[in-house]
Structure 1
Amino acid sequence: MQVGVGYNQENNSTLAGRLAAEQAVKQSGEPAITFLFSTENYNQKLVFQAVKKVIGKSKLIGACTSGIITNAGVLEKGVGICTISGSEIQAVTCLQENIALSPWKSGEEAGKKLRMSGIDSGTVFVFPDGFAANLSELLRGIYNVLGPDFIYIGGGAGHNLKSFQTHQFTDQGIKSNALAIALVKGINFQIGIGHGWQPAGQPMVITKAEGKKVYEINGRPAFEVYSECLGGFDKINFPSYGMKHPFAIPCVGGNFLIRDPLKIEEDDSITFVTEVPQSTVVTLTEGTFDNLITAAGEVAKTAVNTVKLPKILFLFDCVSRYLLMGKEFKRELKAVMEVIGPDIPVMGMLTFGEVGTFSGIPYFHNKSIVVAAGW
């Protein structure tokens, strides 16, 4: 197994894609699987076409992002490529369109297409449109077909909070409102996932909700309860409070799924980044920068605790952590890099929701960090 990583920040979309791919392929040789991440500053179609010309028959998967994560930091503008070669590597990809129309069915259909390859174990890389509805349902559809014999990792694609059109890539093409998914066998992965948010206050029940909108908590207007729990504040101040106090949903193994509040509506309901089902028990959370940074380091330790030295590290870190921490986000990356050392190449992206497993089951996370060490 040989790994190549290339990054480029040229203004020209075709040139940036070609140079990043050439840099990666020079290190790996002819790849079996290629990962492509590109920021919003580019014509995604031109980047995709340029990369395809360089990687030849390689399978490809990737997505657009608001930032590419490297060993040295985050590129808010750039094209990132990771190519992996090896005679034992098998890969199959699927580009499932219109996932918002029927997330569960779309997940099942994607899972069936991967199953048809005959690959019976490995790692499933999942890159959906991060703004699509019911991504948890999409994951459940995939898992319903593929089951527990696979590792699941990835994250939601997205440009920024102002532009809601995203792009997903596979060797089959480039689409929006889609799911890019790949099944890769022949590379071992160990996964770490965490967030650093701590429950604060008493458990509450979501008594009225639909999709991403929560109308009532404990039988009262959602914003009224949320504000009261934090000492009382006006709607105009919600963005500051919402970034610092997401909700936590108890999950298997004593873990918590984080759900990120996005905005307050006129009827005092709260719209979240990801669905919060009715009748769910939730707890308000809090977390200092030190908590988040420490958690990132622990996640990295879990991932690199392998029998062999990793040859590649994939890192999917929530864009809301990046926006919240600002300059302090460098400390989070430093905590990860200090664990893995300077010699392991890193490929990653800022995600709009993260895909990772608890007890072998894939979940869609918010405000979390996923690290996958491969060898």
Structure 2
Amino acid sequence: MKIIQASKLARGGWSYIQEKSKLLNPLVLVFGNRLLLANSEVLQDIRNEFPYEDLVFGSTSGEISGSSVNDDSISVVAIEFEKSSFIVKRDNILDHNKDAKLLGEHLYEQMPKENLKHLFVLSEGSFVNGSSLISGLETNMEDSGLSITGGMCGDDARFEKTLASYKEDPKEGEVVLIGFYGSTFEVSYASFGGWIPFGPERVITKSVANVLYEIDGQPALDLYKKYLGDKSIELPQASLLYPLNVTPDGKKEPVVRTILNIDNDTQSMILAGDVPVNSRVQLMMASVDGIAQGANTAANYGMKNRTTAPELALLVSCIGRKLVMSQRVEEEIEHVREVIGQQVPIAGFYSYGEMAPFNGETACELHNQTMTLTLISE
């Protein structure tokens, strides 16, 4: 596997981590600020610098390149496989009446199945229900050994819109699915947060998919605002610092849910993933040290039981973690590097939602506020 990484600030030239060289039919992942990815001159510059066919674009809430976390930049990782191969498919949720489950089913149906080892998802992040998308991808999945990881695109803390694409210029509504193939391809993954639940545990009494209406029979938004106090005037951005810990009825493992938006008229909250009725729910908070340690834990889970050393680490971390850590955000990348090895290339982005199985499992889940790793080698 040969990897080239480069980044470019909004008003700067290209900076390479590895020496620039020509690659043979690489998979090129382009993570960048949404406003830059909407700029035709920036896009032409990217295509000139990386004149390859298989370019995948995704907007972010921060770009990860090596040990650095950048804002208002473009980060590129180009991957040339020696023994493995990849296939990329795309679809747009606007072509499926915004039905994420249907889109997921359609995307998986397009992907050739022979020797398929892993799927990586890069999804629109502002109105795609990530839980439903995963459900659609897994609906007809017969191979119990096939795994899914990935993330929802971001838009800094603006929450206006996100962009993604394959080959074409980035646009709204796009979901990109990358399939990795080959008997020698090895992938491991992990996801962990480091957030701490607090306050009483309550029960969700009214919800529809990812819209939360009532908790303990009370309007959800009203109850949430009481907890936030003065910070409630900063919603929905303030909710990134106080996500919900949700344990669906009948499940042991909780998932963290970020609040993407609020509806004052219905006193409801729109979350990044499903929040089923009868789920137990608590508020969460975090410290910088707790989040950094969470990245360390995720990396240790990801390295467990690998047969070969990783050759690339794809990191998807949550914008909420970035806001809490602020100037110390690169510490969580350093925690990952200390575990996986100083020489392993690291690339990725800050997201509106992370996708990975629970540690030790294969069924994918949508997570929020986690550090999620996909470690690959061949």
Amino acid of the residue matched to residue 322 of structure 1? K
Distance 1:84 1:122 in 2: 17
**Residue in 2 that maps onto 1:150:** 146
CA contact (8 A) 1:316 1:348 kept: yes
Q: Residue type of the partner of 1:34? A: V
Matching residue of 2:194: 196
Q: Indicate the SS of the match to 1:146.
A: coil
Q: Greater CA deviation, 73-82 or 276-285? A: 276-285
Counterpart for residue 160 of structure 1: 156
Asked if structure 1 preserves the Cα contact closer than 8 Å seen for 2:352 and 2:368, the reply is: yes
Kindly indicate whether residue 110 of structure 2 is the aligned counterpart of residue 108 of structure 1: no
1:351 corresponds to which residue? 351
Measure, in 1, the Cα distance between the counterparts of 2:370 and 2:170: 27
Alignment of 1:38 with 2:42, yes or no, is no
What displacement does 1:10 show?
5.2
Corresponding position: 1:140 with 2:139: no
Separation in 1 of the partners of 2:114 and 2:46?
26
Partner SS state of residue 350, structure 1:
strand
Superposed displacement of residue 82, structure 1 = 1.3
* Contact preservation (8 Å) 2:69, 2:329: no
Counterpart of 2:247 (choices 250, 253, 259) is 250
**1:220 equivalent in structure 2:** 218
- The 10-residue stretch of structure 1 (211-220 or 251-260) with the greater mean CA deviation from structure 2: 251-260
Equivalent pair of 1:263/1:272 in contact (CA under 8 Å): yes
The alpha-carbon deviation at position 374 of structure 1 amounts to: 1.5
The offset of 1:372, in angstroms, is 1.7
Report the more deviating stretch, 75-84 or 208-217: 208-217
Q: Aligned AA for 2:345?
A: P
- SS of equivalent to 1:299: helix
Q: Is the 8 A contact 2:59 2:163 kept in 1?
A: yes
Aligned-pair identity in percent equals 21
The separation in 1 between residues aligned to 2:52 and 2:240, in whole angstroms, is 43
Q: For residue 179 of structure 1, report the CA deviation from its aligned partner.
A: 0.3
> Do structure 1's residue 366 and structure 2's residue 365 form an aligned pair?
no
Q: Deviations over 1:8-36 (max 9, x none)?
A: 22538xxx6xx57x887835732432211
For 1:281-320, list aligned pairs within 5 A. 281-305=280-304, 306-320=306-320
Question: Which residue of 2 is the match for residue 208 of structure 1?
Answer: 206
Give the Å deviation of 1:38: 1.8
Task: Give CA-to-partner distance per residue, 1:312-356, whole Å, 9 cap, x none.
Answer: 111111011101221232322222222233311111101111111
Secondary structure of the residue aligned to 2:158 is coil
Equivalent pairs, count = 366
Q: Which residues in structure 2 correspond to 1:72-151 (within 5 Å)? A: 72-99=67-94, 101-114=98-111, 117-147=112-142, 148-151=144-147
CA offset digits 1:50-98 (Å, max 9, x no partner)? 5445555553323111211122321102221112223422211112012
Separation in 1, partners of 2:211, 2:307: 44
Distance 1:140 1:271, change over 3 A: closer
Question: For residue 6 of structure 1, what is the amino acid of its counterpart?
Answer: A
Cα distance in 2 for residues equivalent to 1:355 and 1:260? 14
Structure 2: 5+ residue runs without aligned partners? Answer: none
Structure 1 stretch displaced more, 231-240 or 256-265: 231-240
Which amino acid letter does the alignment assign opposite residue 245 of structure 2? A
Could you say what secondary structure the match of 1:149 adopts? Answer: coil
2:327 aligns with: 327
- Larger deviation, residues 142-151 vs 47-56: 47-56
Distance 1:264 1:54 in 2: 41
CA contact (8 A) 1:317 1:349 kept: yes
Give the partner amino acid of 2:63: I
For structure 1, list consecutive stretches of 5 or more residues without a partner in the other structure.
none
Kept in 2: contact 1:155–1:355 (CA 8 A): yes
Q: Which moved more, 1:232-241 or 1:125-134?
A: 232-241
Residues 46, 113 of structure 1: alpha-carbon distance in 2 compared, 3 angstrom cutoff: farther
- Kindly indicate whether residue 259 of structure 2 is the aligned counterpart of residue 261 of structure 1: yes
Give the counterpart letter for 1:311 in structure 2. Answer: E
Per-residue deviation, 1:153: 1.3
Greater helix content = 1
Deviation at 1:167, TM superposition (A): 1.5
Report the TM-score, using the length of structure 1 for normalisation: 0.86
SS of aligned partner of 1:132:
coil
Pair 1:236-2:238 in alignment: no
2:3 is aligned to 3
